[in-house]
Amino acid sequence: MRKIAVDFGTTNTIIAVWKDETKAPESLSLPGLSVPSSGLLPPLVPSILYVADGQAGDVLIGQAVRSAGVDGQTEERFFSSFKRGIAARTQPFARRIDGADWDDRRVGEVFLKAVLDAALAVDHSPIEELVLTVPIQSFEQYLKWLRDAFAGSLVGGPDGIQNLRVVDESTAAALGYDVNTPGDLILVFDFGGGTLDISLVRLPLIDEGGGVLIEPGDSAALLGIGAAAAGAVEARVVAKAGRVLGGDDIDYWLAEEVLTRNGVTRQEISTSFVQLKQAVEEAKIRLSDFEQAEVNVFDPDLGRTLHAVLTRSQMEDILDRHEFYTTVQRSLDKVMRAARARGIFPEDIGAVLLIGGTSQIPSVRRMMRAMFGAERVYEHKPFEAVAHGALNLAVGIGLDDFLYHSFGVRHLSPITGRHEWEEIISAGTRYPLPEPVQLVLTASRDGQEALELVIGEVEESSGGLSEVIFGTRTILMVDDGLELRQVRALNDDEGSRTVAYLDPPGRAGEDRVRVDFNVDQNRTLRVTIYDLLTNATLLHNVPVVELR
C-alpha cells in the first residue's frame, strides 16, 4: 500500500488505495468496520462511534457499533455526525463518560486513527502518501485538527506516513468519476450528510495514453487551464462554493415532523431521540425509491410508540419550508456567476457529477436535470468518487486551485491607535503563490523589542476593508459597501503567535521589517521576515497557519 486516501464524511467514511498493478484506485474493505458489501454500495465505514469504557478509551467504530446493537441505546455513549461538531466555530460541550471527557474532536481523532490502523492491518506496506479530503466551507481550525489527528503517524521512514496532502472533496471528485474527456468542464455537485460543496473543474488535457493534447501557451490560456510547464498534467478549479447543509439537517427536520404529529417535544422523549433520528434517516432513504415510508419508534418514557407515515411529496414540502431548495439554488448561482465572469455558461459544461447521499434525493436529481439536462447528469458513482479522485492527485495529476477565504494581518494603526486589519491574500487567490506578497511593518512605539503577526480569516472578501468592530473573539469588518464581514483571528492565542524580535529595539514610526507571505501547495501560509535596519533575516519560511 503506497498511496491511500481517506474521505472522512459526516455519515460515512471511505478508504481507497492506489493499485500499481491495475493503475487505478480501489476502495478498501475494513473487516468489522465496513458495511458488508451488497453489490450496490462500496465498502463504507459508518462515521459512528460508541464509547464502551470512557476511562480506558475502549470504543467501537463503524459497522462494529451496529453489529453490537449499541447504535441506538443511549445518546451519552453514542456519537454520530461528529465531523460537524469538529468543524463548528463553537465547540459542543464534552460528555463526561466513566470519569473522562469525550468531545467531538477526541471522538473524531480516535475514529480516524482506528480507520487508518485497520487499513494498515489489511496491507502492511508503508504509506508513501496520505491524501485527506475536506469540505470547501471549512476553516483553518478544521484543517489544523485534521492534520493534528494524523500527526503521530507523520514520522516518515518505514513505518510512518512520508507525505500528507489535503484537497477539497468536490474538486477531488471531478477526477474520480468515470468521465475522462480531456479538457472538459465538469461541475461536481457534492451533497453529503453535512455539507453541500460545488466545484467547476477543467479536466486535464491528456489523452488515454497520458500525453498532453495541446502545447502550453495561448491555446491553454484560452481554454482556462493556464500555461503550465510542457508535459504537465493539471486540473484547474474554475469556481467553487460551499454551504453547511446536508442530510443531517433533513433528518432533524423529519424528526421534528414526527414529534409534532405525535404531539410531543424533543425534551419529552429523552433517550429515544437517537432511535427516532435513525428511523427517519431510513425513511428518507426509502423515499428515494418508494412513494411513502413508515416510522415507528417506541419511547419508554412515554410508554407508547411514535408513529408517522411520510410521503415523498410531504418530505419535499418539509424541505421547501426550510428553504432547502433556495439554499441549493443560491450555491449553484454563486458558482455559475463566477463561471460567467470567465466566459463560461451552463451549456459549456460537459458533465454534472452527483456525489453524496443527499444528491440522490429524487427532487434534487430533478433540479439538476432541469438546470443542465438529463443527458449531462451522472449519478452512478456517488460514494467513491472523492477518495478515488484524491488518489489520482497523489499519482501525478496536478491541481490548479484557489483559496476560498480571504486573509488579513492585524496591525496597530499609528493614526487611530487601535488594531486594524489589512488584507494580504484575497479570496480566489491561486496557490502555490508564484511570488510572495510583501508588506512593510512599522514599529508602533519607541523601544519596541518584538513584532507579532496575527492572521485573520475572512469568510468572504469584498475588498475595501475600512473599519473594525471588536467583539470577544470575533471581529466584524465593514467594507466600503457597508456589508458586515466576519473575521476570526487564527493565531492569537498565547504561544501560537509568530514573533520577530528586534535588536536594536524599534522606534515609533520607523519602517522596521519586511514580511514576505507565501502559500505552498498544501495551503500553508509561510512567512519570511527581514530586518530593514540590520539587513538580517529574522525568520525564514516559517509556517504560520493553514489556509482555506
19 against 230, higher pLDDT: 19
Q: Where are the domains of the chain?
A: 3-169, 177-382, 406-546
Q: Residue 138 has what pLDDT?
A: 73
86 against 319, higher pLDDT: 319
Rounded distance, CA 491 to CA 498, Å? 8
- Summarize pLDDT for 357-378 with one digit per residue, the tens: 999 999 999 999 999 999 999 9
Q: Are 529 and 538 in contact (CB under 8 A)?
A: yes
Is the CA virtual torsion 505, 508, 514, 515 positive or negative? positive
- Inform me whether the pLDDT recorded for 165 exceeds 60: yes
- Summarize pLDDT for 383-418 with one digit per residue, the tens: 999 999 888 877 767 777 888 888 888 877 666 777
Predicted confidence band at 159 (pLDDT cuts at 50, 70, 90)? low
- Summarize pLDDT for 297-328 with one digit per residue, the tens: 998 888 899 999 999 999 999 999 999 999 99
Of 3.40.50.920, 3.40.1160.10, 3.90.1300.10, 3.30.420.40, which CATH number belongs to 3-169?
3.30.420.40
- Return the closest-CA partner of residue 463 out of 428, 419, 436, 415: 428
Predicted confidence band at 6 (pLDDT cuts at 50, 70, 90)? very high
Say which CATH superfamily domain 177-382 falls into.
ATPase, nucleotide binding domain (3.30.420.40)
Q: Residue 161 has what pLDDT?
A: 65
Predicted confidence band at 419 (pLDDT cuts at 50, 70, 90)? confident
Rounded distance, CA 479 to CA 94, Å? 37
143 against 231, higher pLDDT: 143
- Inform me whether the pLDDT recorded for 51 exceeds 50: yes
> Crossing angle, helix 362-372 and helix 324-340, to 10 degrees?
30
453 against 376, higher pLDDT: 376
Q: Residue 208 has what pLDDT?
A: 42
Q: How many CB atoms lie within 10 A of CB 116?
A: 20
Of 2.60.34.10, 2.40.340.10, 3.40.50.720, 2.60.120.1360, which CATH number belongs to 406-546?
2.60.34.10
The mean pLDDT value for 211-218 works out to 31
Give CA 44 to chain center in angstroms: 19
Rounded distance, CA 50 to CA 43, Å? 20
- Summarize pLDDT for 260-306 with one digit per residue, the tens: 999 998 888 867 888 899 999 999 999 999 999 999 999 888 889 99
The mean pLDDT value for 43-54 works out to 94
- Return the closest-CA partner of residue 10 out of 114, 86, 61: 86
Query: Do the domains at 3-169 and 177-382 have one common CATH topology?
Result: yes
Predicted confidence band at 470 (pLDDT cuts at 50, 70, 90)? very low
Q: Residue 218 has what pLDDT?
A: 30
Q: For the chain, what percent of residues have pLDDT higher than 90?
A: 44
**Do strands 129-134 and 100-102 pair parallel, antiparallel, or not at all (unpaired)?**
unpaired
- Inform me whether the pLDDT recorded for 137 exceeds 80: no
The mean pLDDT value for 522-548 works out to 88
Q: How many residues does the chain have?
A: 548
Predicted confidence band at 233 (pLDDT cuts at 50, 70, 90)? low
